[in-house]
């Protein structure tokens, strides 16, 4: 993966603004630095409320924050599908939209949510992505990290990416989601950094992100 001689197209699909940054922002920033094409797709991306109907993002901030975060990662292709928060469907409608994105960009690597998540938007985004990516050779599920996911079955870290040189971009992209940063405070950033440090320790580097494999091409 990320072979020096190949220019790859990397497609990351997340339900909400900040999911992708949390789970694979360091890997995407690294891919951009190495000259690969990176595309981010946010399935919702419009303003939302929490379960007590308190606004989480309002006045168009969801889109503004997603754009600012993508820019920090160096990603210029950000697609916001605009489904309503909490109501992401597992439907032909969404799968067709993702199909069109697969046909247009022909991604070599597809990242999406862990299928055994507890948030309905994450589960349906993962299932829709797996359906739409049926012709792609490499599909990797990113590690659930709150609030980008909380699994009810153990995640199996199978593929690791050294993000030591892009951890700062990852953290800054999280802070660009100001509404989330205000809600979750610095403890959120500390938790994400600690997870990356822990995964880095497992592979012998400073910081890492890891993924579970649905399907993977081995390039020889
Ligand atoms: Zn989410």
Per residue in 24-33, pLDDT tens?
999 999 999 9
Tokens of 170: 């990852």
Predicted confidence at residue 69, as pLDDT, reads: 96
Report the sign of the C-alpha dihedral through residues 59, 63, 67, 68, in that order: positive
219 CA to centre of ligand 1 in angstroms: 31
110 CA to centre of ligand 1 in angstroms: 17
Strand 48-49 to strand 55-57: parallel, antiparallel, or no bridges (unpaired)?
Answer: antiparallel
66 CA to centre of ligand 1 in angstroms: 12
115 CA to centre of ligand 1 in angstroms: 13
- Please give the sequence-ordered ranges of beta strands (E in DSSP) within the chain, or none if there are none: 9-14, 37-42, 48-49, 55-57, 77-80, 109-112, 139-142, 159-162, 208-215
- Residue extents of the structural domains in the chain: 9-215
17 CA to centre of ligand 1 in angstroms: 7
Each of the 220 residues of the chain gets a pLDDT tens digit; together they read 545 568 999 999 999 989 999 999 999 999 999 999 999 999 997 666 666 666 666 657 788 999 999 999 999 999 999 999 899 999 999 999 999 999 999 999 999 999 999 999 999 999 999 999 999 999 999 999 876 678 899 999 999 999 999 999 999 999 999 888 888 889 999 999 999 999 999 999 999 999 999 999 998 8
Given a contact cutoff of 8 angstroms between Cβ atoms, the answer to whether 36 and 2 are in contact is: yes
22 CA to centre of ligand 1 in angstroms: 9
Instruction: Please list the residues that pair with 159 across neighbouring strands.
Output: 211
The class that CATH gives domain 9-215 is alpha beta
């Amino acid at each position: 993966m990320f072979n020096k001689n190949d220019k790859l197209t990397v497609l990351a699909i997340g339900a909400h603004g900040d999911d992708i940054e949390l789970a694979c922002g360091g890997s995407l920033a690294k891919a951009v630095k190495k000259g690969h094409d990176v595309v981010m797709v946010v399935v919702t991306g419009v303003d939302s409320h929490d379960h007590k109907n308190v606004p989480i993002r309002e006045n168009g901030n969801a889109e503004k924050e997603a754009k600012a975060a993508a820019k920090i990662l160096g990603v210029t292709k950000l697609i916001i599908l605009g489904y309503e928060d909490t109501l992401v469907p597992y439907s032909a409608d969404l799968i067709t939209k993702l199909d069109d994105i697969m046909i247009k960009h022909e991604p070599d690597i597809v990242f999406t949510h862990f299928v055994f998540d507890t948030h309905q938007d994450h589960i349906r985004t993962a299932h829709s992505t797996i359906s739409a990516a049926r012709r792609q050779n490499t599909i990797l599920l990113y590690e659930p990290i709150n609030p980008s996911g909380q699994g009810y079955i153990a995640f199996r870290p199978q593929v690791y990416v050294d993000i030591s040189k892009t951890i700062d971009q990852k953290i800054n992209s999280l802070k660009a989601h100001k509404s989330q940063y205000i809600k979750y405070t610095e403890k959120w950033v500390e938790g994400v950094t600690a997870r990356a440090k822990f995964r880095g320790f497992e592979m012998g580097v400073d910081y890492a992100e890891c993924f579970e494999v649905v399907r993977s091409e081995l390039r020889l």
